[in-house]
Amino acid sequence: MEFRALARYPFLKDATHFVKERELGLDDLLKHTTMAEARRRGKARVLSAISDLTVPNNPVTSEDEAVQEILSYPYARILVSCIGDDVLVRRYALAEAKTFNERLRKEDMEMVVFLAGELEVEAVRGDSALRMHFTDFLNYTSGLRGPEWKLVNQDLRTGFVQLDKNKFVRVLEQALNERIEDDLPLPVNDELLTAIENELEDIVAALEEFKEKYRGEGFGEVSILKFPPCMKKLVAMAQAGQNMPHAGRFALTSFLSFIGMPVDDIIKLFCSSPDFDHSKTAYQVRHITGDGLGKRYTPPECATMKTTGLCFEPDELCNGRRVQHPLTYYRIRSYDKGKEKKVEKDTMPPSAPSR
């Protein structure tokens, strides 16, 4: 394969062989002066992933530049692994995958099928479209939202789903994203940490700045202790940056709005998501909450939460006859807490008279 293509897709087996032919190893990447450009590019990959959810498009005009670009990829993975932060892992993986999507859209059909094979996705080229085995389609679209990704809405023939190029590439993006997330963090030792510790400072600072920019101030007067188990779970998923289905985001946003959480705090709650975009999240949250201007959507009832797979570890109160809605659970817990405070106040001994 041509060296420019290897530089565009450094995760390829051929890219690894391209570097090995030049007898370059880990020690060279970490310490040798000739690899300084690879280290610079690798660090830039991580910083760009944090700030812009992209990977830089560096010029590659020679085989030497291709080597530097290819090696920037394992070096970036080492940097991410040495920090070991879950938010960083997810954001870096998504940045690599999104950049892969942008580049692959410009490739011909033959290259797309080849890269699908590299990602172990069974695919063939049809007359006017690309076809993917339905098991791979199901595997990599389970987290994608919208009716256009449901198998019942696909053109399924002899076990293969027929997709246009853009949709096919979107599935491959998800495949690469999951592969990188599953691989990271890599095991690292003290020697490796010592070798690159100076490189980590800027990345840690950028990561903390990213987190701080959107970090919420807490729940204020809203008490998470009163939340039903489903909402506690969704909050934990949001704070951990886990991929949450659209139904979960809708349920959590509408619930938090109804119990009085400010819109800005709801927006900040989703900041750990690897694909967090403040303007898009703000638009979606304000649409659901009405933001004082439009219709405010009511959270789904318990029956709907069960149907959509969002009912997590129901407790005794959930299973009681009184609770058929998450808001009912919260009101009962709030009432119970209020009674506890009142009883505590009523049973306190009178204050000693002042002298």
- Cβ-proximal residues to 154 (8 Å cutoff; 6+ apart), any chain: 134, 137, 161, 162, 163
**Do 130 and 254 sit in the same domain of this protein?**
no
**Do 29 and 105 sit in the same domain of this protein?**
yes
Last residue of a domain, one of 168, 183, 198: 183
How do the pLDDT tens digits run along the chain, 355 residues long? Answer: 999 999 999 999 999 999 999 999 999 999 999 999 999 999 999 999 999 889 999 999 999 999 999 999 999 999 999 999 888 998 899 899 999 999 999 999 999 999 999 999 999 997 778 999 999 999 998 877 667 888 999 999 999 999 999 999 999 999 999 999 999 999 999 999 999 999 999 999 999 888 776 554 444 456 788 999 999 999 988 888 887 888 999 999 999 988 888 888 899 888 877 777 888 888 889 889 887 556 778 889 898 898 888 999 899 899 876 788 999 899 888 876 554 444 344 433 444 433 3
Last residue of a domain, one of 153, 183, 213: 183
**Do 163 and 18 sit in the same domain of this protein?**
yes
Q: How many CB atoms lie within 10 A of CB 24?
A: 17
pTM over 0.75: no
The domain of 243 spans 224-340
Query: Residue 142 is part of a domain; what is its CATH number?
Result: 1.20.930
- Cβ-proximal residues to 14 (8 Å cutoff; 6+ apart), any chain: 1, 6
